[in-house]
Amino acid sequence: MSLAYPSQRVAYPYFVVALLLFVLQVTMGVWVGLHYAVTMPQWLVDLFPFSTARAMHTNLLVLWLLLGFMGSTYFMVPDETERELYSPMLAYVQLALLVATGVTALVGFLFGWTKGKPLLEIPFPLDWMIVVGALIFLFNVGMTMLRARRWTATQGSLLGGLVFLAGMYLFNLPFYRNLSLDWYYWWWVIHLWVEGAWELVAAALTAWLLMKITGVPRELVEKWLYVELGLFLFTGIAGTGHHYYWIGAPKYWLWVGGIFSALEPLPILLMLVDAAHYIRERRGRLNGRLVFTLAVGMAILHVIGAGVWGFAHTLPQINYYTHGSQVTVAHGHIAFFGAYVMLNLMFFYYAVPQLKGMAAYDERRGNVAFWWLTVSMSGMTLAFSVAGVLQSYIERVMGLGYMTAQAQMRFWFGVVVFFGLSLLGGAILAVLDLLTLRPAPAEAKTAGSV
Ligand code: HEM
Ligand code: HEM
Ligand SMILES: [Fe+2]
């Protein structure tokens, strides 16, 4: 089986880099978690502090997920526009630029070169290099679509989401003297990314992939895509208010943020119903079960992580107690994992076999990796959640000190590290599997083509 469009091949190096950074990101997570679970000797803390490792853990997450989205876009766009990419060369230049910037940033963190904004620590002038990389990407994708003149809703929402994503990053560039203003715009990046732009990109990539693997008619998929995108924008933009409760913003945000963010799980739920519907309606042969398992897993974990764990602390009456606690961390993990890590893995498992010219591949290791990752992340999330409830109760309800709470939480951080190590094992398995996929053995071939 050969690729319909040879320029789709540029996706592969994006995937490989993303997968390697995924393992590094999770390794850093274990190191960060260990700081809570055990008391480390001071020299070790000085050598590689919590703050440095945390910046690496979170920035690596954002970097590899974005590289995964970009690779997926480069894989999808030629197929969707029925045209080769405008410039495969530019796609390689862009990857080299982004990787060089990322590596420089990581080394810089080791020497304390950071902007200090969580998740966006990358300092000036490296953040401008990211802007250049993003512009090259948008130019390449935009030109391909423009030249093809074969507009579809899926393409449009993908491009819209990507432009929105890049646009929001610009609010991270200036230095704001006023701390409230600084946080105010920080959320324009963080919140409007994960609950706005990234959702649009995810919805478009998922819509395209579901069309491919289920054979469900485009009109049906695209009709729902419009509804979902509309709802995401309607709830997500005003929902930013759930981050303005305690930063010195006007009081009306308590109402606006509370009401609109409480509605945010709606479009996410709709995506689940929608995906389940297509999968039931699927027509013809499937090219493998694993991508389905990942699609269903993603839709369910997206609802749990973003919808349920998000809703749990979004009302100001609850957030007053849980703000900035380990409850937030629990939600951050399961939401990023359920929505975006799973989305990338799903796309990789769909695209990599094609990039390697395989019609059917051995799915067994991939299946084990999926369940292993899911069980480990669920365990970690529950442990973070128990720690978070203890923390909120001891510090915020009882009014006791930080260390009193930490002493009660420590056991649960041990559980986090246990599941974290397990998750690292699952990540290594998934990455090794994707990089060394084998054609399906005879019996798997029949089982895989329902
Ligand atoms: C795919 C897997 C992972 C994802 C998506 C992920 C995501 C994240 C995110 C989004 C944050 C920032 C949370 C916030 O600001 O509230 C974070 C911080 C953190 N992560 Fe992970 N992580 C992963 C794996 C791990 C692993 C395996 C561990 C290890 C035990 C871990 C431990 C931590 C810790 C301890 C923090 C800092 C929490 C704090 O500041 O109190 N993570 N991670
Ligand atoms: C896939 C989508 C989502 C992702 C990846 C995500 C991720 C995150 C992360 C990493 C944080 C911590 C930021 C920080 O303080 O460092 C956060 C905070 C928060 N998220 Fe989400 N989130 C998502 C969707 C949602 C939804 C749909 C809701 C509401 C229904 C929600 C409610 C919240 C709230 C209330 C906070 C602030 C917690 C606090 O006050 O400490 N999130 N989210
Ligand atoms: Fe938010």
Q: Are 69 and 344 in contact (CB under 8 A)?
A: yes
Distance CA 191, CA 201 (A): 15
Residue 161, ligand 1, Cβ within 6 A: no
Mean local confidence (pLDDT), 387-405: 98
Distance CA 327, CA 220 (A): 38
Structure tokens at 289: 């079960």
CA distances from 439 to 60, 246, 445 (A): 31, 55, 9
DSSP code string of 37-86? HSPPPHHHHHHS-HHHHHHHHHHHHHHHHHHHHHHHHHHHHHHHHTS--S
Q: What residue segments make up the domains of the chain, in order of their start? A: 1-116, 151-286, 302-437
Task: Indicate which ligand has the atom closest to the C-alpha of 231.
Answer: 2
Residue 33, ligand 1, Cβ within 6 A: yes
Mean local confidence (pLDDT), 292-311: 96
**Cα 196 from chain centroid?**
12
Q: Quote the ligand 2 centre to 169 CA distance (angstroms).
A: 18
Q: Which of 195, 253, 321 maximizes ligand 2 atoms within 8 Å of its Cβ, making it the mutation to test the pocket?
A: 195
Q: Any long-range contacts for 315-321 (C-beta under 8 Å, 24+ apart)? A: 315/258, 315/262, 316/242, 316/245, 316/254, 316/257, 316/258, 319/242, 319/245, 320/245, 320/246, 320/396, 321/392, 321/393, 321/396, 321/397
Distance CA 388, CA 383 (A): 9
Query: Residue 442: its pLDDT value, please?
Result: 62
**Cα 139 from chain centroid?**
23
Q: Quote the ligand 1 centre to 83 CA distance (angstroms).
A: 40
Q: Quote the ligand 3 centre to 63 CA distance (angstroms).
A: 19
Angle (nearest 5°) at CA 27 between 25 and 32: 90
Q: Tell the burial category of 86 from Cβ atoms under 10 Å away from its Cβ (0-12, 13-18, 19+).
A: buried
444, pLDDT greater than 60: no
Percent of the chain surpassing pLDDT 90:
88
Query: Residue 286: its pLDDT value, please?
Result: 59
Closest among 358, 356, 365, 336 to 427, alpha carbons compared: 365
| Residue 417: band (very low, low, confident or very high) from pLDDT cuts 50, 70, 90 | very high
Residue 70, ligand 1, Cβ within 6 A: no
Phi-psi region at 215: left, alpha or beta (left = phi > 0; alpha = psi -120 to 50) = left
Query: Residue 360: its pLDDT value, please?
Result: 86
pLDDT digits (tens, 9 = 90+) for 170-187: 999 998 999 999 999 999
When the pLDDT of each residue in the chain is averaged and rounded to a whole number, the result is: 94
pLDDT digits (tens, 9 = 90+) for 194-232: 999 999 999 999 999 999 988 888 998 999 899 999 999
Query: Residue 256: its pLDDT value, please?
Result: 97
Mean local confidence (pLDDT), 32-60: 96
Query: Residue 1: its pLDDT value, please?
Result: 60
Query: Residue 440: its pLDDT value, please?
Result: 84
How many other CB atoms sit within 10 Å of the CB of residue 73? Answer: 26
Exposure string for 333-342, b = 16+ CB within 10 A, e = fewer: bbbbbbbbbb
| Residue 434: band (very low, low, confident or very high) from pLDDT cuts 50, 70, 90 | very high
Distance CA 450, CA 448 (A): 6
Q: Quote the ligand 1 centre to 425 CA distance (angstroms).
A: 16
Place of tokens 């491009």: 159
Query: Residue 258: its pLDDT value, please?
Result: 97
Residues near ligand 2 (Cβ within 6 A): 118, 190, 194-195, 242-243, 261, 264-265, 306-307, 310-311, 313-314, 319, 323-324, 328, 331-332, 335-336, 339
